[in-house]
Amino acid sequence: MTKGENMTFANKFAAGAGAVGLSLFAALPAWAQEAAAAAPEPVVDKGDTAWMMTSTVLVLLMILPGLALFYGGLTRTKNMLSTMTQIGAAACLAMIIWVIYGYGLAFGPEGNAFIAWGKFFLAGVTPDSLADTFSDGFKLPEYVFISFQMTFAAITLALVLGSVVERMKFSAVMVFGAIWLTIVYFPIAHMVWAAGGLFFEMGALDFAGGTVVHINAGVSALVAAMILGKRIGYQKEIMAPHSLTLTMVGTGMLWVGWFGFNAGSALEANGSAALAMINTFVATASAALFWMLAEKLAGHKPSALGFCSGIIAGLVAVTPAAGNSGPFGAIVLGAVASLIAFYAVTVLKPKLGYDDSLDAFGIHGVGGIVGAIGTAIVYAPSLGGPGGDDFAIGPQLVTQISAVAATIVWASVGTVIAIYVAKLLTGLRVSEEVEREGLDLGEHGERAYNY
């Protein structure tokens, strides 16, 4: 695990000195007992534990009902329940797989630069098992850490589905999700957040999941949408959101839940969590306003949909920088990411013609790339970031770009494999009749609204 791995020179010196002292005075039991008593056993910090349990529940709020309402409101009426059901079922699938082998592949006790192993079925984990935090001598119950990271896996898979709703079979979603988690999400989570992981050892900065969650999900969403093909009538029929009211409600829940996502990634209730909290406020506010400004400059009216899109773009962009930026840097990062995501959604997407149904790539993929790369800049102390006096933007920028590029390649290749296996086993798309009728009735036998 990444938390608490690094000891200061003073810690190491004290630990070494303690070992030498015990060997010299082994013949004197009283001295040995006194030395042992001077080194306190790690204990559970109840405040940190309470905060992390709260953060974990907040991330669940982001999925159900937050993301389900956000995505569901953006679809057409006939696909509202299908969208929400796919998100909920995918999250549940991720939770079960996480306990069986996902946690072991991401954070197991053994491993290499790309994957871990061990603790499958959570073997050896008990209520007394502890996970490291940053503070020396204080730890979390391992079950809390497992649960927190489990919600990250669940929401990342759910985000991918935003590009393929209204046409992908429910059975295909389940098969794709299981394979994608195994060959895409778990390895990238290990590479970024586990000691010994490729990006971790490179020194890549990703406080809460710019690469692991957003670039990973956004790029995978684009690849899946391109393989799946366009919805019937795309760019020929009006496919307006059926309820921006529900989308707005979902947006608010996502923003509230994101404080668990970002501030919770400090793994402690401390100053780093506080920094992540204020950055999650101001980057998001900045992005929302700049998206509506971009609409105005483009000759449109500032819209509720634009407001919601800007909020999500800002949340995405600040995720890797949440504890790695000063507040003003977060404001700038949110604004820049919002403007670039606006261009990707309103100009690039229509020009290239791909059908990313709910703009999972345009907001999460593009916003995540901007945020991950921009973290190298806002981390600088000269810009208000928490980097040390010897921090240099150039080398860190190279590291961030390398991690982003590797994540894009890994997610793309893994998604191709997962989507074609699902196609082989279940087929990908519903029939034309079901797509026209709506997946609510065709796949689930029910309607969102009965008049």
Residues 250/65, Cβ–Cβ less than 8 Å? yes
- Tell me whether residue 309 is in a domain: yes
Alpha carbons within 13 A on the beta-carbon side of 338: 30
Query: Is the pLDDT confidence value at 415 over 80?
Result: yes
Which residues pair with residue 243 across a beta bridge?
A: none
3-state SS assignment for residue 44 = strand
Percent of residues, the chain, with pLDDT higher than 70? 90
Structure tokens at 35: 């030395």
Letter for the amino acid at 414? Answer: G
User: Residue 262: what pLDDT?
Assistant: 98
- Tell me whether residue 1 is in a domain: no
- Tell me whether residue 31 is in a domain: no
For residue 16, what pLDDT band results from cuts at 50, 70 and 90?
very low
- Quote the CA–CA distance of 106 and 10 in Å, as a whole number: 30
User: Residue 442: what pLDDT?
Assistant: 97
Residues 282/101, Cβ–Cβ less than 8 Å? no
Sorted by sequence, the CB contacts under 8 Å of residue 351 that are 6+ apart come out as none
Query: Is the pLDDT confidence value at 28 over 70?
Result: no
Structure tokens at 313: 């773009």
Query: Is the pLDDT confidence value at 29 over 90?
Result: no
Which residues pair with residue 138 across a beta bridge?
A: 43
For residue 43, what pLDDT band results from cuts at 50, 70 and 90?
confident
User: Residue 138: what pLDDT?
Assistant: 66
Q: Residue 65 sits in a domain of what CATH number?
A: 1.10.3430.10
Tokens 């679809």: give the residue: 75
3-state SS assignment for residue 232 = coil
| Residue range(s) defining the domain that contains residue 57 | 51-444
3-state SS assignment for residue 43 = strand
Query: Is the pLDDT confidence value at 440 over 90?
Result: yes
Query: CB count, 10 Å around CB of 390?
Result: 6
- Tell me whether residue 13 is in a domain: no
Residue 313, burial from CB neighbour count under 10 angstroms (0-12, 13-18, 19+): buried
- Tell me whether residue 32 is in a domain: no
Query: Is the pLDDT confidence value at 1 over 70?
Result: no
Residue-averaged pLDDT of the chain: 91
Does this model's pTM top 0.85? My answer is yes
For residue 68, what pLDDT band results from cuts at 50, 70 and 90?
very high
Query: CB count, 10 Å around CB of 388?
Result: 8
Between 261 and 37, where is the model more confident? 261
Closest CA to 323 of 377, 281, 280: 280
Sorted by sequence, the CB contacts under 8 Å of residue 369 that are 6+ apart come out as 215, 218, 404
Query: Is the pLDDT confidence value at 22 over 70?
Result: no
Handedness of CA 240, 246, 252, 255 (dihedral sign): negative
User: Residue 135: what pLDDT?
Assistant: 61
- Quote the CA–CA distance of 20 and 258 in Å, as a whole number: 47
Percent of residues, the chain, with pLDDT higher than 90? 87
User: Residue 42: what pLDDT?
Assistant: 74
Q: Looking at the chain, how many residues does it have? A: 451
For residue 139, what pLDDT band results from cuts at 50, 70 and 90?
confident
Query: Is the pLDDT confidence value at 116 over 50?
Result: yes
Alpha carbons within 13 A on the beta-carbon side of 26: 4
Query: Is the pLDDT confidence value at 341 over 80?
Result: yes
User: Residue 199: what pLDDT?
Assistant: 97
For residue 134, what pLDDT band results from cuts at 50, 70 and 90?
low
User: Residue 26: what pLDDT?
Assistant: 38
The domain total for the chain is 1
Residues 394/374, Cβ–Cβ less than 8 Å? no
User: Residue 44: what pLDDT?
Assistant: 87
- pLDDT tens digit string along 206-262? 999 999 999 999 999 999 999 999 999 999 999 999 999 999 999 999 999 999 999
Helix (H) / strand (E) containing 110: strand 110-111
Angle at the Cα of 416 (from 412 to 419), degrees rounded to 5? 130
Q: What is the mean pLDDT of the segment spanning 357-382? A: 97
- Tell me whether residue 300 is in a domain: yes
Helix (H) / strand (E) containing 117: strand 116-117
- Quote the CA–CA distance of 364 and 369 in Å, as a whole number: 8
- Tell me whether residue 46 is in a domain: no
- Quote the CA–CA distance of 200 and 193 in Å, as a whole number: 6
Where are the alpha helices (H) located in 206-303, listed in sequence order? 216-228, 244-263, 271-297
- Tell me whether residue 113 is in a domain: yes
